[in-house]
Structure 1
Amino acid sequence: MQDMDGRLYDAYVACLQPCAIGFSEEVETFTLQTLPRVLEKACGYKLFIAGRDCVPGEAIVDSVGENIQASRRLLLLYTASTFSSKKHTSSTSSLSSNNNNLSKNNNSEDNGESKMGEGGSGERSEEVFPDTRQNLEVLLAMHKTLLERSLKVVLVELEEINSAQLALFPESVQHLRKKQGAVCWWKEQRKRQRRRTCMTRREDEEKAEGDAQLSPSLSPSSRFWKEIRYYMPVRGKRAVYLERTALLNL
């Protein structure tokens, strides 16, 4: 059911697919369990998660385009190897070339002349990214956020990224990361690991496992989730604004 602004989802979650390099059990757990547990169940957001909510048999291009268009935000989940594996080397080079104009023309996109055919059309995206859903998601998301300014993209870093790996990222992603930063899940996990290593008694470890639901990493008030929520749309604000506008027009 659409909200009053015509959007179906608060966020589209672009994540690694099971066949992708960098996909792991930890990635799957975060994407399909942790993320919806906090954002959907605890915070009340409505998410579209690629791989969970896709209609069987639906064309990837149609699914990605329509559902991104129906979302207020896009959460781009990535690991250290998402853009830096051999599988993506040639396509990353092409994407960097295609998206070079996205970062360079970021201050001049209001002329209305930039089109996906120039920065990467639907046909070009299939040529650059033959198999991977996430690559199409990245291309569309970067176009919409840097050229159209019609979508807010939130970068969610699942693993620590070093300078060599970052250098292989598409220029558009590097530009966005430098401009607004990334929300780092790995920092949350590192803090959690430190707490675990500080536990010296067996009973404390068992108690920590038994209190999994109280883990700070699952608390909406933890630093990581506060950062995510900062970028998410304000719930209820759209409906209140539209209602007030309608009353003023009476």
Structure 2
Amino acid sequence: ECIICDYFVLVGEPTAIRCPIITFPALHSDYNLTWYENGSITPVTTERHARIHQRGGLLWFIPARLEDSGHYECDVRRFNHSSRKSIHLTVFKNDNGLCFNGRMKFEQKVMTTNTGKIICPDLEDFRDEDNSEPEVHWNKECKPGFLEDKRLLLAKGENAILILNVTVQDRGNYTCRMVYTHMGKQYNVSRTVSLEVKESPRQIRPEFIYPKNNTIEVDLGTHVVMECNISSGINGLIPFWTVNDEDVDSFDSTYKEQFYEEGMPHGLAVSGTKFNISKVKVKDYAYKFFCHVMYGSQQITVYIKLERPAPSIQGYLIGGGISLVFLAFFTLFVYKIFKVDIVLWYRNSCYPFLGKEVSDGKIYDAYVLYPKNRMSCLYSSDIFALKILPEVLERQCGYNLFIFGRDDLPGEAVISVADEKIRQSRRVIVVLVPEPSFYSILEDASEKQLAVYNALTHDGIKVILIELEKIQDYASMPESIKYIKQKHGAIRWKGDFSENSCSASTRFWKKVLYHMPSRKNASPSGLHLLP
């Protein structure tokens, strides 16, 4: 049933309006139908001679006039129930110079390359009084002769034209016309059909989207969805699965194949099939799963195969990487703590396997510089430099020291001797005390400055600072001493003058030996308790 019922008719032609409530009058005999003009309570006459009358459940206009345009109502009564519906009629004139009105046309569509049909609509009520089929005449764009095209055929008994191999040139306005006789008078009945021609989708060879003759890695016992889909311009092409030359449903009853098809833009269609493997079994690895599609007389096939995943080394790599990083940090940590012991152990253990030493032209392993007291030799700096240092480094460890004040000859110039001996030494040991009054401003300071200067400017000479006591402030020290302290630090003496403090195995002496050049240990001559 229509919601808004519109009829249109060319002025001067007959038309018949149906009541939308009664779709098939012959099937309904238990009703009473009455037509009214809109707003009128007087029924339309049933006299056949009247121009407007109701007959056979239809409202007839023979012929229609322009003033007939408007609304009409049909009232249907069944037992105690009544229904009423309004219908609108438009009576129109043709456009100037044309045989139709551009706004009053029936729309029809056909597809290219197919056989199309143009139907002259709404002629079923216009039979002659002898109930004979009307003779329909056609023209296109108001011009006859288009039926000379051999692709166009009249469909007998259907009031239609068949178009073979439709092309876009077949679109246009087709007008059909017949003659209707009523009460001995003939009337023209015409319909104009606007034909739209649409491009048929191309017959594209089906192409597999997935699979692509590939393998996938799945673990035993896992769930897998096996899907195969194709794209083509042909509807109804559905792929199907086989395995081991039989349908997947026969291969395993738990594999339930499901088919689907979806329309896509540009006339393409995607169709596919899929089935679930709830738990991958060992037998699933043994075969290829084939997906087929029939295209004409051809069968196109692709496959997919399940494989066990290769053992993952990612965990081992991550674990190994973490272990290496941890080992590197642990090694650095151990080396930082035991660096001195490791270096000394290496020197002692590997020295016998090293090749013959190449002479560097040096005579002394270290030049010892210390603050001398001008009043007496009872201060700790003198005892440390003249007794403890030689005891450990020379007698126990085999080093050759030049100690200014012990090894220089009387009368020699201080500056020339210091410069020469430092050039002949591999290290410079500077003994420091906290009180600046211990230094001789005129003699010792210049000697110390000279020694440190040479140590900094000559290649291969390293300065070792030894604090006999903790020095809080280096402000009174020469700039060169402050520079070395800042860059390399100092070793602080924490012992006394007992026998234990004179052992090369104590922590203090290990630090001193670490900074000393490599040298084969001399046979110790015994430890002596200093007086």
TM-score range, shorter chain: 0.5 to 0.7
Separation in structure 1 between the aligned mates of residue 457 and residue 422 of structure 2, nearest angstrom? 15
* Alignment equivalent of 2:502, drawn from 218, 222, 228: 218
SS in structure 1 of the partner of residue 446 of structure 2: helix
Q: Does 1:141 align with 2:448?
A: no
Q: Aligned ranges for residues 1-250 of structure 1 at < 5 Å?
A: 4-19=359-374, 24-81=378-435, 84-85=436-437, 131-132=442-443, 134-163=444-473, 166-185=474-493, 187-189=494-496, 212-213=498-499, 215=500, 217-235=501-519
Is contact 2:423-2:458 (8 Å) kept? no
Structure of higher CA gyration radius: 2
Is contact 2:418-2:451 (8 Å) kept? no
**Cα distance, 1:183 vs. partner?**
0.9
Instruction: Return the structure number with greater relative CO, CA threshold 8 A, min gap 6.
Output: 1
**Cα distance, 1:4 vs. partner?**
2.2
Q: Which residue of 2 aligns with 1:114?
A: none
Higher strand fraction (1 or 2): 2
Q: Unpaired segments of 5 or more residues in structure 2?
A: 1-357, 521-531
User: 1:39-69, CA deviations, whole angstroms, 9 ceiling, x for partnerless residues?
Assistant: 0000000000111101111111111111111
Query: Which amino acid in structure 2 is aligned with residue 224 of structure 1?
Result: F
Separation in structure 2 between the aligned mates of residue 5 and residue 20 of structure 1, nearest angstrom? 39
Separation in structure 2 between the aligned mates of residue 30 and residue 87 of structure 1, nearest angstrom? 16
Separation in structure 2 between the aligned mates of residue 42 and residue 26 of structure 1, nearest angstrom? 21
Is contact 2:371-2:438 (8 Å) kept? no
Question: How high is the TM-score relative to the length of structure 2?
Answer: 0.29
User: 1:106-138, CA deviations, whole angstroms, 9 ceiling, x for partnerless residues?
Assistant: xxxxxxxxxxxxxxxxxxxxxxx6x31x32332
Count of residue correspondences: 163
Question: How high is the TM-score relative to the length of structure 1?
Answer: 0.59
**Cα distance, 1:141 vs. partner?**
3.1
**Cα distance, 1:170 vs. partner?**
1.8
Separation in structure 2 between the aligned mates of residue 20 and residue 52 of structure 1, nearest angstrom? 17
Is contact 1:64-1:136 (8 Å) kept? no
Q: Unpaired segments of 5 or more residues in structure 1?
A: 89-128, 193-211, 237-250
Q: Does the C-alpha gap of structure 1 residues 7 and 148 become closer, same or farther in structure 2, counting only changes over 3 Å? A: closer
Query: Which amino acid in structure 1 is aligned with residue 423 of structure 2?
Result: Q
Q: Does the C-alpha gap of structure 1 residues 25 and 139 become closer, same or farther in structure 2, counting only changes over 3 Å? A: closer
Q: Which residue of 2 aligns with 1:106?
A: none
Q: Does the C-alpha gap of structure 1 residues 149 and 142 become closer, same or farther in structure 2, counting only changes over 3 Å? A: farther
Is contact 1:80-1:159 (8 Å) kept? yes
SS in structure 2 of the partner of residue 167 of structure 1: coil
**Cα distance, 1:143 vs. partner?**
2.2
Separation in structure 2 between the aligned mates of residue 12 and residue 86 of structure 1, nearest angstrom? 20
Is contact 2:365-2:517 (8 Å) kept? yes
Query: Which amino acid in structure 2 is aligned with residue 153 of structure 1?
Result: V
Query: Which amino acid in structure 2 is aligned with residue 41 of structure 1?
Result: R
Separation in structure 2 between the aligned mates of residue 58 and residue 78 of structure 1, nearest angstrom? 24
Separation in structure 2 between the aligned mates of residue 141 and residue 47 of structure 1, nearest angstrom? 15
SS in structure 2 of the partner of residue 61 of structure 1: helix
SS in structure 2 of the partner of residue 67 of structure 1: helix
Give the superposed CA RMSD. 2.5
Higher helix fraction (1 or 2): 1
